[in-house]
Structure formats: C-alpha cells, structure tokens
C-alpha cells in the first residue's frame, strides 16, 4: 500500500541522513521525500511517500518515531488530506505544437514561466496524478527536461501536525 507520512523533525545537521539511512538500512522503499524548515526555524517538516505491506508500514512508523530527531509524525493517508507536487517541464515549442502546448498548459492550469523561440518552460502544481496526466498529454511535443519536487502533504480541515 502507498502511504504519505508527514514528519516534524528537529532542524539539526544530519537529521535528514538519519531518515534516509533508516530506509536504506532496513530496505524500505522511498518513493519521494521532501523536506524544508517550517515557520519555526528549529523544526523541519518532511513529507515521505513510501509503500509496503501493513507489517512493514507499521515498522516504518515505529522506526521513524524511534529516531531521536523525530518530534512527531502522522500518516496522512489515515484520513482526509491534500497532496501537492510542483513540476517544472521544459519542452520543444515550435511549429504547430507551440500553440497546442500553450492550450494544454491553460487546460491544466499551469504557467509558462520562461519562453524562447523554440522552448517553453512550464510550471505546474497539483497532485501526482494530475502531473502524470499532463506529461501524458505533452506527447504532442518533445519533452526536454522534467523536474518534480515530490509530494508535500497536509491534513484536511482541523487535522494538523504541530508541536
């Protein structure tokens, strides 16, 4: 099963490597991992996407909780939540496809943030499925480069993770 886990951890040197090291040492999957400081500069917030059997997922949360730098964590997939990912895409934009790409960007509510005679650079946010769908649609032209941030997640409504 695929799980999105949100983690608050001490903003200490090495905290990220403890999480990454845990996953490699125990052979757990990491699909994506994002991390940045929060409004409280002593805390970092991490969103980690992983998958495994129920037993493995239980171990993953327990092992993460066991890390001394981890303050709190929440499995977002346990309840209502929102996932967003940022993607930057550079594509060929010449001839007929130039118009076509622009239309697609509008339909998917992205932005063209850099333009040359032959290239568009596009910014798009959304959940991962939307970004996948957009890439699929972009087959009308040649994709030069794709940069995806990995998921950031947050609980819906009152559901919050804070100290």
Partner 1 sequence: MELTGADIIVRCLRDEGIEYIFGYPGGAALHIYDALYKQEDVKHVLVRHEQGATHAADGYARATGKPGVVLVTSGPGVTNTITGIATAYMDSIPMVVISAQVPTHLIGDDAFQEVDAVGITRPCVKHNFLVKDVRDLASTIKKAFYIAASGRPGPVVVDVPKDVTANKTEYIYPQNLVMRSYSPVTKGHPKQIRRAVGLLCEAKRPMIYSGGGIVLSESSDKLTEFVRLMGFPCTNTLMGLGAFPASDPLFVGMLGMHGTYEANMAMHECDVLLALGARFDDRITGELKKFCPHATIIHVDIDPSSIGKNVPVEIPIVGDAGVVLQDMIRTVKNGGPQPNPDNIADWWKQIEVWRSVDSLSFDRDSDLIKPQLVIEKLCELTGGDAFVTSDVGQHQMWAAQHYKFDVPRRWINSGGLGTMGFGLPAAMGVQLAHPDSTVACVTGEASIIMCIQELSTCKQYDLPIKVINLNNRYMGMVRQWQEFFYDRRYSHSYMDALPDFVALAESFGHLGVRVEKPGDVDGALRDALKSDRLVFMDFITDQTENVYPMIAAGKGHHEMHLNPGTGEKAQERELA
Of residues 69, 75, 123, 132, which one binds partner 1 by CB under 8 A?
A: 69
**Is 41 one of the binding residues for partner 1 (CB under 8 A)?**
no
How far is 133 from 23, CA to CA, in rounded Å? Answer: 29
**Is 75 one of the binding residues for partner 1 (CB under 8 A)?**
no
- The first and second tokens of residue 60, run together, are 């993953």
How crowded is the C-beta side of 46, counted as CA atoms within 13 Å? 24
Return the range that interacts with partner 1 (CB under 8 A); candidates 6-14, 96-104, 105-113, 148-156. Answer: 6-14
Return the range that interacts with partner 1 (CB under 8 A); candidates 10-18, 29-37, 96-104, 136-144. Answer: 10-18
Beta bridge partners of 50: 3
**Is 58 one of the binding residues for partner 1 (CB under 8 A)?**
yes
Rounded to 5 degrees, φ, ψ at 27 are 70, 30
**Is 70 one of the binding residues for partner 1 (CB under 8 A)?**
yes
């Amino acid at each position: 099963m695929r799980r999105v886990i949100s983690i608050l951890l001490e903003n200490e040197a090495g905290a990220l490597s403890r999480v990454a090291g845990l996953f490699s040492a125990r052979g757990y999957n990491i699909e994506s991992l994002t991390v940045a400081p929060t409004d409280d500069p002593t805390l970092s917030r991490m969103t980690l996407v992983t998958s495994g059997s129920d037993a493995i997922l239980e171990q993953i949360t327990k092992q993460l909780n066991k890390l001394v730098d981890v303050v709190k964590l929440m499995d977002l997939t346990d309840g209502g939540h929102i996932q967003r990912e940022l993607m930057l895409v550079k594509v060929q934009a010449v001839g007929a496809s130039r118009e076509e790409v622009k239309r697609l960007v509008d339909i998917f509510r992205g932005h063209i943030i850099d333009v040359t005679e032959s290239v568009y650079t596009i910014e798009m946010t959304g959940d991962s499925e939307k970004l996948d769908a957009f890439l699929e649609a972009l087959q009308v032209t040649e994709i030069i480069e794709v940069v995806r941030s990995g998921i950031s997640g947050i609980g819906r409504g009152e559901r919050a993770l804070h100290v």
